[in-house]
Amino acid sequence: MWWFRRNKTIGLALSSGGARGLAHLGVLKALREKDVQIRAIAGSSIGSLIGAYYCLKGEIDSLIRIAHETDWRRLLGLLDINPLTLSRGGLLEGKRIEQFLKELFADATFSDCGIPLVVVATDLRTGRAVEISEGPLWKAVRASIGIPGLLSPVEMGSYLLTDGGVASPIPVITLKKRGYRPIWAVNVLASTPRYPVSRQQLGVLEVLEQSLLLMENIVAKTQSQLADGCIEVDTSDVPFYDFTKAKDLIPRGETVAHRYL
């Protein structure tokens, strides 16, 4: 890794992982503290949200504050459950989440980013990863975070887009194709959830999470091997839906990144 030691410049691929991805904030914080220059970011699902914010703002302190302020009351306020939307592919209508993203990114587009950004989603029609690098940031992120069955897919051109983690949980290849090197991956999917195997002890959310993360875990391992370096954060004790764990996950990501550096 002599090329990194010489100029401390990298391309960064941020994994999917739901709430576990809050650890990305800690990793980015550590990279900034060590003056690591990020040339480009490719993000999938939660990695796309955090990556988009960093590329647009050039900092993550304000996003960390939002994460710290998120409690169950605020989290539940984003969930507009509507059984009628099941016919459109999701239990949640998604309007409140879209409003949150619009407030976070306003009218910003990819061209407003100071750092090149690629958001990765999955096309339900073909099963292929779709790389988004133009248009409104909020809409691209909304497509990438659409957890199958919970958030309805997003129509974008000829694509019907859902969670990027389905096809590309760690989009290293997205950066490789664009000529960036070295590329580091941040993987919060390295460990599977610590859940009991007894059917009586599993709820609907646990079954959904275990199924999705087991699938993403396998693909993530393969994709992370394409990177020149990989920061793996063990988040296996955190459910994918528990965004109230920022005060634990952010320092965890920061500690692992400092150790890696």
Instruction: Select from 144, 101, 124 the least CA-distant residue to 15.
Output: 144
Instruction: Read off the pLDDT band of 146 (50, 70, 90).
Output: confident
Q: Give percent of the chain with pLDDT exceeding 70.
A: 84
Two tokens at 4?
A: 């990194």
Is residue 168 flagged as an active site residue?
A: no
Q: Active-site residue among 123, 152, 163, 242?
A: 163
- Average pLDDT (182-193) is 86
In this predicted structure, the answer to whether residue 42 has a pLDDT above a threshold of 50 is yes
Q: Is this prediction's pTM over 0.85? A: yes
Per-residue pLDDT of 237-250, as tens digits, reads: 888 889 999 999 99
Is residue 45 flagged as an active site residue?
A: yes
Is pLDDT larger for residue 249 or for residue 96? 249
Peptide bond into 182 cis (omega under 30): yes
Q: Give percent of the chain with pLDDT exceeding 90.
A: 66
| Beta bridge partner(s), residue 233 | none
233 Cβ partners below 8 Å, 6+ apart? 20, 23, 26, 27, 186, 187, 188, 190, 249, 252, 253, 256
Per-residue pLDDT of 58-80, as tens digits, reads: 999 999 999 999 987 877 777 66
In this predicted structure, the answer to whether residue 107 has a pLDDT above a threshold of 60 is yes
pLDDT at 11: 97
pLDDT at 39: 96
How far apart CA 29 and CA 50 sit, in angstroms, is 12
Cβ(235)–Cβ(249) below 8 Å: yes
pLDDT at 195: 56
Angle 6-177-166 from CA coordinates, rounded to 5°: 115
Cβ(185)–Cβ(170) below 8 Å: yes
DSSP string spanning 97-122?
A: HHHHHHHHHTT-BGGG-SS-EEEEEE
Instruction: Read off the pLDDT band of 177 (50, 70, 90).
Output: very high
pLDDT at 205: 62
In this predicted structure, the answer to whether residue 51 has a pLDDT above a threshold of 80 is yes
DSSP string spanning 166-228?
A: GT-SS-HHHHHTTT--SEEEEES-SS-------GGG--HHHHHHHHHHHHHHHHHHHHHTTSS
- Average pLDDT (93-108) is 91
Instruction: Read off the pLDDT band of 87 (50, 70, 90).
Output: very low
Cβ count within 10 A of residue 83: 7
Burial class of residue 89 (count of CB atoms within 10 Å of its CB; 0-12, 13-18, 19+): middle
Q: Active-site residue among 15, 16, 44, 45?
A: 45
pLDDT at 198: 57
Is 159 strand, coil or helix?
strand
Tell me the backbone φ, ψ of residue 151, rounded to 5 degrees: -105, 130
pLDDT at 199: 54
Among the listed ranges 1-15, 23-37, 89-103, 145-159, which one has the minimum average pLDDT value? 1-15
Instruction: Read off the pLDDT band of 255 (50, 70, 90).
Output: very high
